[in-house]
């Protein structure tokens, strides 16, 4: 059984200048399913929640508690929609990689191997052309016999669906959203000068902080992409090995075990990405939201009641 592994997403069709890949198509599918499911749960919400409403409420409460414990109650509720949306999208995008048909249903495309060989060795075509003009027959002693058929066209499977997070472009876009949000909220909390001062405290660590800020883009995108792609490759290899074994229930049991592992790893990766996003935003806006909360003190906090005075007694008017 031949296993075809492609790091880059396969192109399905083009819409003008836009190249629609299978991962981009699957991204719109995931977004559509999330919107439909969220709208159905919101419209059918009941005081006594059902199965799906309970699952959604437990997940939302877990993410809300996580964000509030990271950034405080007030600021955590402000960034909760972003963190919750990122978590839900990555979670379901990771889960699509184990659905039947994803990565296996598609169409075959004929590609010429000679074109790939010319790209890999651009000088080879010129050498063969010049030899043909001279009429000489050039044979290489180190070339295997199998390379005689290297220029023959071969067919490759182009899957229609591919997990969005198995595409580095998608994870890079998510990392850029996190990076932009961190900078915008940091500047909103401290101003441009305050944000730079926050990164340069003490001043000699400013270059390190600057490299660290841009390094987060690489770390967030590469971590998510690498784990999701490695999981899909591992699952495909296990399917192939289990199919070769054909011993008792091995072809059925082995893939099921790794499917559950993929569910676990997909949840962990979505949680890690969302939690790091919340931490980065809180670190950038640290202190800004606390000052804003201090300016809205309650009357009891602004005018504390002395000990021994009844709590229900109103403060005296200015004219009394």
- The predicted-structure confidence for 197-206, as pLDDT tens digits, reads as follows 888 878 888 8
Give dist(CA 298, CA 296) in Å, integer: 7
pLDDT of residue 311: 47
Reply yes or no on whether the pLDDT at 119 is more than 70.
Answer: no
Assign 173 a pLDDT band (cuts: 50, 70, 90).
very high
Pick the range with the lowest mean pLDDT from 166-180, 220-234, 238-252, 301-315: 301-315
Assess whether pLDDT exceeds 80 at residue 36. yes
Q: For residue 98, give the DSSP letter.
A: G
Q: What is the model's pLDDT at position 247?
A: 66
- DSSP class of residue 248? T
pLDDT at 174: 94
Q: What is the pLDDT of residues 86-105, one digit of tens each?
A: 999 999 999 998 888 787 77
Q: How far apart are CA 213 and CA 56, in angstroms?
A: 33
- pLDDT for 145 equals 44
* Higher pLDDT pick, 223 / 310: 223
pLDDT, greater one: 275 or 308 = 275
| CA dihedral for 307, 310, 314, 317, sign (positive or negative) | negative
Q: What is the pLDDT of residues 246-301, one digit of tens each?
A: 666 666 777 788 888 889 999 999 999 999 999 999 988 876 544 444 434 444 44
Q: 243 or 81, which is more confident?
A: 81
Q: Which residue has the higher pLDDT, 287 or 80?
A: 80
Least confident of 84-98, 136-150, 184-198: 136-150
Judge whether residue 241 has pLDDT over 80. Answer: no
What's the pTM? 0.74
List phi, psi (to 5°) of 65: -65, -40
Tokens linked to 238: 């296990």
CB atoms near residue 55 (< 10 Å): 12
Cα 263 from Cα 253, distance rounded (Å): 16
Q: Are 9 and 162 in contact (CB under 8 A)?
A: yes
* Residue 26, token pair as written in the block: 């699957």
| 162 vs 137, residue with greater confidence | 162
pLDDT at residue 4 is higher than 80: no
Nearest CA-CA partner of 160 in 84, 95, 108: 108
Return the closest-CA partner of residue 105 out of 156, 157, 163, 154: 157
- The half-sphere exposure of 85 on its side-chain side, counting CA atoms within 13 A, is 11
Task: Please state, rounded to an integer, the average pLDDT across all residues of the chain.
Answer: 76
């Amino acid at each position: 059984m031949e296993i075809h592994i492609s790091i880059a997403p396969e192109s399905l069709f083009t819409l003008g200048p836009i190249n629609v890949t299978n991962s981009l198509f699957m991204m719109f599918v995931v977004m559509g399913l999330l919107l439909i499911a969220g709208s159905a749960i919101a419209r059918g919400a009941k005081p006594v929640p059902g199965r799906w409403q309970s699952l959604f409420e437990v997940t939302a409460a877990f993410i809300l508690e996580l964000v509030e414990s990271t950034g405080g109650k007030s600021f955590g509720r402000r960034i909760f929609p972003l963190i919750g949306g990122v978590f839900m999208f990555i979670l379901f995008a990771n889960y699509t990689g184990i659905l039947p048909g994803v990565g296996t249903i598609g169409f075959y495309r004929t590609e010429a191997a000679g074109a790939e060989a010319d790209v890999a060795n651009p000088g080879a075509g010129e050498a063969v052309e010049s030899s043909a003009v001279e009429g000489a027959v050039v044979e290489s002693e180190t070339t295997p016999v199998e390379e005689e058929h290297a220029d023959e066209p071969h067919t490759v499977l182009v899957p229609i669906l591919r997990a969005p997070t198995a595409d580095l472009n998608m994870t890079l876009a998510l990392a850029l959203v996190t990076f932009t949000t961190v900078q915008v909220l940091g500047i909103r909390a401290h101003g441009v000068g305050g944000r730079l001062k926050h990164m340069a405290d003490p001043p000699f660590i400013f270059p390190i902080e600057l490299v660290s800020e841009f390094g987060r883009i690489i770390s967030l995108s590469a971590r998510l992409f690498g784990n999701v792609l490695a999981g899909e490759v591992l699952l495909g290899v296990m399917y192939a090995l289990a199919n070769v074994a054909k011993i008792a229930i091995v072809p059925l049991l082995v893939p099921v075990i790794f499917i559950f592992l993929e569910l676990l790893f997909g949840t962990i990766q979505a949680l890690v990405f969302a939690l790091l996003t919340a931490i980065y935003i809180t670190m950038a806006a640290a202190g800004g939201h606390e000052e804003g909360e201090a300016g809205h003190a309650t009357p009891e906090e602004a005018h504390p009641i002395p000990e021994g005075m009844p709590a229900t007694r109103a403060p005296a008017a200015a004219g009394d």
